[in-house]
Structures are given as structure tokens and as C-alpha cells.
Amino acid sequence: MPTPAPNERLIVALDLPTIPDAKGLVAVIGDAAVFYKIGLELFMQPGFFEFLDWLRAEHKRVFVDLKFFDIPETVARAVRGLAERGADFCTVHGNQSIMEAAAGAKGNSSIKVLGVTALTSLDQGDLDDLGFECDIPALVLSRARRALAAGCDGVVSSGLEVAKLKAEIGDKLICVTPGIRPVENRVEADQKRIMTPADAIRAGADYLVVGRPIRDAADPRAMAQAIQHEIASAL
């Protein structure tokens, strides 16, 4: 797996209600970030795919996080469509056949398919409620092994599990880590398994997804720059 450039390791999550809001944040951040994640919130707005095209025209990398989970052929067609639009990353959920279909649909494109392991909003109590008879680290490792066997390029994993994942799988899979919070932004009710940028990089994360700490900062550009500096210092 090629080593990502330091300034590409930060992925800013554009979790905003409208496309104009998202474009405005990209403009404010400027050259402090080159990689953006667009997901379900913007997907429900008119112009989602035109916005993807706009980001590409602005020379930004794009992570489309829609967590595809459907019959394999439908998922394959969705991945193929994103590849044709120039998306860099996409996410897939589901069983082995779904992940295999997604990975097989890449063709000669540069899109990377990421298998979802366990959402950072879930803790052990949530997994127990869902009927999973294992702990979170075991589930993440199991999902990562299956993603690798299916031909996926990487996984989405909390920073708390990255070290064990990398120890077993090494650089065979890209590790994209959400739930990243600077120390002063660590308390949030819906993010239970979180880590600072430096700790996640030292644990082995390849890319960090950061949303609210940048979006809600008084100066989003300055916050993005501070996180970029923390990433560079931890490498």
C-alpha cells in the first residue's frame, strides 16, 4: 500500500445540511485540507453528485461514505458508478459476498473500497444489545480479515483497535479512523470510542476522519491546520 502524503491523511467530514454550506466550509478551510468525506446527510440534498464533481474539479480527494449494504449486484453497480465519477474511497457493509462484489466492481479505477468494522458510536453494551457474541476488538479483527479476503482495499476502524489490526494485517489494508477528537473536544454523547489525532497516527491509522471539531470551530481553517500539524508531528 503506498504511503499517503502527510497532508492527505486528514479527511474532513462535510456533515452539513446543504451543499452551499459544504462548499462554504471547503472555501474557508482552503489549502489546509485536500481530502473530504461526504455522506448520508448531503446525499439527501439536491446536487450531491454535482458536488462530488465540484470537489474533484477543485483538486480535492473525495471519500463517499454511504456504507453500501444491499444485494451484491446492486452494491457492485453502486461502486462502479462512484468509480466512474472519480471518487477515491467508498464504504461497504454486509457479508462476504457483498464485500467481494464491491471489491470486484472497481475494475481498473483508482477507487478504494473500505469495509466497515464497528461504528465508533457503538460500545460493548450496544453490541450486546445487537446480539453480537464477541467483544469489539474481536469483531473488528474478524471484519478486517474478511475484508482482506474479499479483496477490499481497507477498513474503517476506531483508533482503539488500529494497533491490534495493524499488528496482524500490517499494511495489507488501509486503516481509516473516525472518532478523532482533539483533547479539548473529547466529550460527545454519540461518539464512544474516540482518540486524539496523534494517538491514532501512532497506533497505525493511515487516515483520520474529523468532522465536528473542524466544522464547529470558531476558525475551521486554524483547527484543520492544528490537526495537520499534530499529524505531521506524530509521523
- Annotation-wise, does 68 bind a ligand? yes
Name the catalytic one among 23, 67, 164, 172: 67
Grid cell of 22 as nine digits: 459544504
Whether 67 is catalytic is yes
- Annotation-wise, does 23 bind a ligand? no
Taking Cα atoms as reference points, which of 68, 57, 70 lies closest to residue 23? Answer: 57
Residue whose entry in the numeric block shows the C-alpha cell 502524503: 5
- Annotation-wise, does 181 bind a ligand? yes
Residue 200: what residue type? A
- Annotation-wise, does 72 bind a ligand? yes
Classify burial at 187, counting beta carbons within 10 Å of its beta carbon; exposed 0-12, middle 13-18, buried 19 or more.
Answer: exposed
- Annotation-wise, does 130 bind a ligand? no
- Annotation-wise, does 50 bind a ligand? no
- Annotation-wise, does 96 bind a ligand? no
- Annotation-wise, does 70 bind a ligand? yes
CA 139 to chain centroid: 18
Residues 203-218: b if buried by 16+ CB within 10 A, e if exposed: bbbbbbbbbebbbebe
Catalytic residues: 67
Known binding residues are 15, 37, 65-74, 120, 181, 191, 211-212
Q: Residues comprising the binding site for substrate? A: 15, 37, 65-74, 120, 181, 191, 211-212
